[in-house]
Amino acid sequence: MRAVVIDNAEVSVAERPDPLLGDEQILVEVRAAGLNGADLLQAQGLYAPPPGVPVDLPGLEYAGEVVAVGSAVSRFQVGARVMGLVAGAAQAELVTVHERLAMPVPAGMRWVEAGGFPEAFATAYDALFVQAGLGAGERLLVQGAAGGVGLAAVQLGVAAGARVTATVRDQLLRPALEEIGADAVAPDAYGARAPFDVVVELVGGSNIAGDLAALANGGRICVIGIASGARVDLDLRQLMERRAVVRGSTLRARSIEEKALLARELEARVVPMVASGRVRVPVFAVFPLEAANEAYRRFAAGGKLGKIVLTVSTADVED
């Protein structure tokens, strides 16, 4: 199979052996695979995959068609349209997935949207509701809202009845956030909207002091991005006075059981909203697998609104 490979921090496409199918796994012919910040970090040697996952094959999310099933599989049959998270190697023509981690692709959802759905919406849903316990009527701040996860968090927050403020550095991108229900502001302007009950932090260390200062009593900060740094100087007195909670979260190294539970939550609560059009997967740019290096460079350049997605199969990705 053809796959995106990492060699000395360079990204290219090369032939690799087809993955072996386990008893509880499905083999998926990938039609589209989203690109994420973790892929760039892996390419730079800064984010190693969990044990057993190839270090040179990136890709955390996929959408495609089941072409074979293991002997113990019961949820899916050959021909099923599926999408989901994996710990790596999704940017390839074929990927094997534990059947409990796959989700059906709803009718009418394009492959490029399905390929960009799992990581962004799973990360955002987990941060908002599992980690931070966001409720209707609460005030939510999404720091760094222009990427796939940020846009997912804004949409899910609005759908949950929260009052959402979103920080976006590029002022030309803010109207799009306003259209989906957020109060979009510059990164240094959110203080006027404080206090916030929940902060989803996608930028990292340089923001934490400001997040804490803008937090309501009993507020929660969930850190899911560290582009601006992983270390902070935290005022514990302020943390105590506000009875605040600061949590961090990643999905990649979680157990199959934890990931399966999150997949069922998405299947029940979020996928129907995508199918109905209540929320959408914003796709910024689409590149063929052969142009993976170009796609990675575009991702690293910033200034995008939404997901960058690789199309993998030669089949019609508009299906």
For residue 175, CA distances in Å to 137, 147, 203, 284 come to 23, 14, 20, 15
Question: Which position has the higher pLDDT, 251 or 319?
Answer: 251
What token pair was written down for 272? Answer: 């129907």
Rounded Cα distance, 123 and 187, in Å: 21
Q: Which domains does the chain have, with CATH numbers?
A: 2-117+254-311 (3.90.180.10), 121-248 (3.40.50.720)
Each residue's pLDDT tens digit, 224-264: 998 888 899 889 999 999 999 999 999 998 999 999 999 99
DSSP assigned state of 132: S
In this structure, are residues 128 and 152 in contact, taking their beta carbons and an 8 Å threshold?
no
Rounded Cα distance, 166 and 168, in Å: 6
Q: Across all residues in the chain, what is the average pLDDT? A: 95
Position 178 pLDDT exceeds 70: yes
Pick from 306, 281, 262: nearest CA to 131: 262
Each residue's pLDDT tens digit, 83-116: 999 999 999 999 999 999 999 999 999 999 999 9
Rounded Cα distance, 75 and 80, in Å: 10
In this structure, are residues 305 and 151 in contact, taking their beta carbons and an 8 Å threshold?
yes
Min mean pLDDT across 56-65, 73-82, 152-161, 246-255 is at 246-255
Min mean pLDDT across 5-9, 152-156, 312-316 is at 312-316
Total Cβ atoms within 10 A of residue 69 = 20
Per the document, the length of the chain is 319
3-state secondary structure of 242: coil
Position 315 pLDDT exceeds 60: no
pLDDT attached to residue 112: 97
Position 316 pLDDT exceeds 70: no
What token pair was written down for 69? Answer: 């099933």
In this structure, are residues 104 and 267 in contact, taking their beta carbons and an 8 Å threshold?
yes
Strand partners, 29: 65, 94
In this structure, are residues 135 and 220 in contact, taking their beta carbons and an 8 Å threshold?
no
Residue holding tokens 């019961």? 74
Each residue's pLDDT tens digit, 259-313: 999 999 999 999 999 999 999 999 999 999 999 999 999 999 988 999 999 999 7
Each residue's pLDDT tens digit, 9-44: 999 999 999 999 999 999 999 999 999 999 999 999
Total Cβ atoms within 10 A of residue 237 = 8
Question: Where is 23: in which H helix or E strand?
Answer: none
Stretch 169-193: mean pLDDT: 96
Give Cα 213 to chain centroid, integer Å: 27
In this structure, what are the phi and psi dihedrals at residue 288, rounded to the nearest 5 degrees?
A: -70, 160
Rounded Cα distance, 153 and 8, in Å: 34
Total Cβ atoms within 10 A of residue 318 = 8
In this structure, what are the phi and psi dihedrals at residue 98, rounded to the nearest 5 degrees?
A: -65, 135
Q: How many CA atoms, within 13 angstroms, populate the side-chain half-sphere of residue 141?
A: 33
Radius of gyration of the chain (CA): 19
For residue 290, CA distances in Å to 11, 94, 311 come to 10, 15, 9
